Chains A and B, each alone.
Chain A
Amino acid sequence: MSTMLEVRNLHTSYGRIPMLRDVNLDIAEGEVSCVLGANGSGKTTLVKAILNMVKADQGTMKLGGVCIDSWPTHKRVAEGVSLSGAAVGTFPKMTVETNLKMGAFYVNDAKILQDRLEEIYTSFPVLKDRLQQKAGTLSGGERTMLAIARAVINKPKLLILDEPSLGLAPIMVEEVFDIIQRLKKDKMTILLVEQNAAKALAVSSRGYVIQKGAIVFSGASDVLQKSEFVENPVM
């Protein structure tokens, strides 16, 4: 299977404080990979660096074999990297429908857009009942659904989910992971960034552990499951 996203020797810093150090990732096409790490370990920085919202000091990235180092954020999104997550949020004063349409910002054909919307309504029935409601008035769980749907509608080559289950009630967490399972079945390439190690490892086939800005483990999820990293309560 070919590699969808390849990250080599990525270094970033906030001012003079180094953040990520020598990060390497290989996200295989059609697979779910997860990055596990505690708060402040650099997970979100990694995600933002992939989208060029945090500038990399060093390192190169390839998307589907093409070097994307010089691409600004909007180009990376247009070319198929979508990001979603609980903290990413929605456009609060826009309706659910407009939020979804903003997700498909680069789809100009009205017919294709309508088809995509229909697909989303089938996979996220919760949203269909709320189309004309302002996103800011949704419940936390519904908003997370909307955030994921907004990223999925773009049909990304790589879907990055940054802590999608953060702050959700257990029943909603289940639902979020059900969606990830479904997307996995559709062969979507997903990079799942999580603190919930057990759940994340259950859906993913490859796992990374990030600590203090460096990848300290990379390997198959079932190996990671039994390793010291997952048993370590700090995680």
Chain B
Amino acid sequence: MVPMGYLLDLIGSAVLLGCTYTLVAIGFSLFFGVMDVVVFCCGDIAIFGAFSILASYTILNGLGVTGTWPLLLVILLLLLIGILFCAVLGLLTHRFSIKPFEKSSALMPLLSTIALGTVIREVIGLMFMPVTNGVADMVAGENAVHVVSGRNPQSFPSLLSLGGSTAARNIIIVLVTVVILLLLFLFLNKTKTGLAMQAISQNKELSLMTGINVSRSIVITFVIGGVVLAISGFLVGSYQTIMSFDNGSMFGIKGFSAAVVGGLRNTWGAVLGGMLLAFVEVMVSGYVPNGSAYASILAFVVVVIFIVFKPEGIIGEKTVEKV
């Protein structure tokens, strides 16, 4: 009999992992909602945010700011930097990977964002090439593995581990996710900009006829998506503690799968999908012997099952067009 505490631990980890997937999935569903295209570089944008926070932290540390300023201020400043970087990256994604292909088939922006994702990954890799892994040095000393002229994993500043406690960090990650979800919900349902975004997702032509400035709303969506992705990058960094430049590709695929399972276009679907995927992964690695090797595989099996039997997702609605 497996002890109860173990199960609770697993549930805790699953919720945590689910939170990180959820925010990326929301990025996908926001973009898909207004553009009807899959913006495939969401994961890379998030990881870019994480790395920009990591780099800014190193710079702030060098200036001696981190020790003297209050921790909360440092965190907020870093988040702001990450958000700025990701919002700009979101805008650039729209400008160079989506907008030029507005009139072509949906496959073009899909391909161009995959390409852009690769560019973002490689840029992160190049910029951090000379940086060696501080944590590895600290832990393994002379035996630390450094890939020569390669791209070493980086340690993310453990800002949320108040007093070195992961429990506090975990609670903060879940709380931040919940707050972001609530803010997003209020934004989408209570503000005109949010309602316009929903309207575009439901009927683009009618949105134009209602007098919504559709092109401006699309740009705003990319900024907001960038903000959400930056925060998700920060949370993923804090959760994983070690980050590699190419984390974005797997992270993006997981987020996309979560969005598909939950139902693209639907914010709550993204939450459910993210949680489902995370639970499958964590439970498999927790209960199946050597399960962590199969965790991701089984998570993707779930995705395939959904695509076959319920392609509209958990709470996605079937598109029925009545005349």
Assess the A74–B203 pair: CB atoms within 8 A. Answer: no
Is A23 an interface residue, CB under 8 A from the partner?
A: no
Q: Which residues on the A side are within 8 Å of B154 (C-beta)?
A: none
Q: Which residues on the A side are within 8 Å of B203 (C-beta)?
A: 89-92
Is A11 an interface residue, CB under 8 A from the partner?
A: no
Q: How distant is the Cα of A130 from the Cα of B196 in the complex, in angstroms?
A: 22
Is B238 an interface residue, CB under 8 A from the partner?
A: no
Q: Per a CB cutoff under 8 Å, which of A77, A88, A98, A140 touches B211?
A: A77
Is A78 an interface residue, CB under 8 A from the partner?
A: yes
Q: Which residues on the B side are within 8 Å of A51 (C-beta)?
A: 208-209
Contact with B along A56-78 (1 / 0, CB 8 A): 00000000000000001110011
Binds B, one of A2-10, A101-109, A116-124: A101-109
Most buried by A among B192, B209, B320: B209
Is A167 an interface residue, CB under 8 A from the partner?
A: yes
Assess the A74–B211 pair: CB atoms within 8 A. Answer: yes
Say whether, besides A90-B203, A91-B199, A94-B199, A102 and B209 are in contact (CB < 8 Å).
Answer: no
Q: Which residues on the A side are within 8 Å of B198 (C-beta)?
A: 91, 93-94
Assess the A88–B209 pair: CB atoms within 8 A. Answer: yes
Q: Per a CB cutoff under 8 Å, which of B196, B199, B206, B317 touches A88?
A: B206
Assess the A93–B202 pair: CB atoms within 8 A. Answer: yes
Contact with A along B302-320 (1 / 0, CB 8 A): 0000000000000001001
Q: Which residues on the B side are within 8 Å of A206 (C-beta)?
A: none
Instruction: Give the shortest distance, in Å, between A181 (CB) and chain B (any CB).
Output: 24
Assess the A167–B323 pair: CB atoms within 8 A. Answer: yes
Is A87 an interface residue, CB under 8 A from the partner?
A: yes
Instruction: Give the shortest distance, in Å, between B5 (CB) and chain A (any CB).
Output: 43
Closest A residue by C-beta to B196: A105
Is B68 an interface residue, CB under 8 A from the partner?
A: no
Most buried by B among A72, A82, A91, A167: A91
Assess the B208–A102 pair: CB atoms within 8 A. Answer: no
Q: How distant is the Cα of A89 from the Cα of B202 in the complex, in angstroms?
A: 11
Q: Which residues on the A side are within 8 Å of B205 (C-beta)?
A: 53, 88
Q: How distant is the Cα of A88 from the Cα of B208 in the complex, in angstroms?
A: 11
Closest B residue by C-beta to A78: B211
Is A157 an interface residue, CB under 8 A from the partner?
A: no
Is A83 an interface residue, CB under 8 A from the partner?
A: yes
Assess the B202–A74 pair: CB atoms within 8 A. Answer: no
Closest A residue by C-beta to B214: A74
Contact with A along B193-219 (1 / 0, CB 8 A): 001101100110110111111100000
Instruction: Give the shortest distance, in Å, between A26 (CB) and chain B (any CB).
Output: 23
Instruction: Give the shortest distance, in Å, between B99 (CB) and chain A (any CB).
Output: 16
Q: Interface size of B by Cβ–Cβ distance < 8 Å?
A: 20
Is A150 an interface residue, CB under 8 A from the partner?
A: yes
Q: Which residues on the A side are within 8 Å of B317 (C-beta)?
A: 93
Q: How distant is the Cα of A207 from the Cα of B195 in the complex, in angstroms?
A: 38
Which chain A residues numbered 202 to 225 have a C-beta less than 8 Å away from chain B?
none
Assess the B210–A87 pair: CB atoms within 8 A. Answer: no
Most buried by A among B202, B210, B317, B322: B210
Contact with A along B175-206 (1 / 0, CB 8 A): 00000000000000000100110110011011
Q: Which residues on the A side are within 8 Å of B213 (C-beta)?
A: 72, 74
Assess the B202–A73 pair: CB atoms within 8 A. Answer: no
Closest B residue by C-beta to A83: B209
Q: Which residues on the B side are within 8 Å of A106 (C-beta)?
A: 211
Most buried by B among A53, A77, A101: A77
Q: How distant is the Cα of A90 from the Cα of B192 in the complex, in angstroms?
A: 17
Q: Per a CB cutoff under 8 Å, which of A91, A105, A150 touches B202?
A: A91
Q: Per a CB cutoff under 8 Å, which of A101, A102, A140 touches B322?
A: A140
Instruction: Give the shortest distance, in Å, between B40 (CB) and chain A (any CB).
Output: 25
Assess the B322–A90 pair: CB atoms within 8 A. Answer: no
Which chain A residues numbered 41 to 58 have a C-beta less than 8 Å away from chain B?
51, 53
Q: How distant is the Cα of A136 from the Cα of B205 in the complex, in angstroms?
A: 16
Say whether, besides A74-B214, A105-B212, A89 and B206 are in contact (CB < 8 Å).
Answer: yes
Instruction: Give the shortest distance, in Å, between B192 (CB) and chain A (any CB).
Output: 7
Say whether, besides A102-B195, A140-B322, A77 and B202 are in contact (CB < 8 Å).
Answer: no
Q: Per a CB cutoff under 8 Å, which of B199, B212, B320 touches A74?
A: B212
Assess the A53–B206 pair: CB atoms within 8 A. Answer: no
Q: Which residues on the A side are within 8 Å of B214 (C-beta)?
A: 74
Assess the B208–A53 pair: CB atoms within 8 A. Answer: yes
Instruction: Give the shortest distance, in Å, between B264 (CB) and chain A (any CB).
Output: 14
Say whether, besides A140-B322, A167-B323, A77 and B199 are in contact (CB < 8 Å).
Answer: no
Instruction: Give the shortest distance, in Å, between A56 (CB) and chain B (any CB).
Output: 16
Contact with B along A150-173 (1 / 0, CB 8 A): 100010000000000001000000
Nearest 4 A/B pairs, CB to CB: A77-B211, A74-B213, A91-B202, A83-B209
19 A–B pairs (Cβ distance < 8 Å), ordered by A: A53-B205, A53-B209, A74-B208, A77-B209, A78-B211, A86-B323, A90-B206, A91-B199, A91-B202, A91-B206, A92-B203, A93-B317, A94-B199, A102-B199, A102-B210, A105-B192, A105-B196, A105-B210, A167-B323
Q: A77-B209, A91-B202, A98-B195 are in contact. List 8 more A-B contacts (CB 8 A).
A: A74-B213, A91-B206, A92-B202, A93-B198, A102-B195, A103-B210, A105-B211, A106-B211
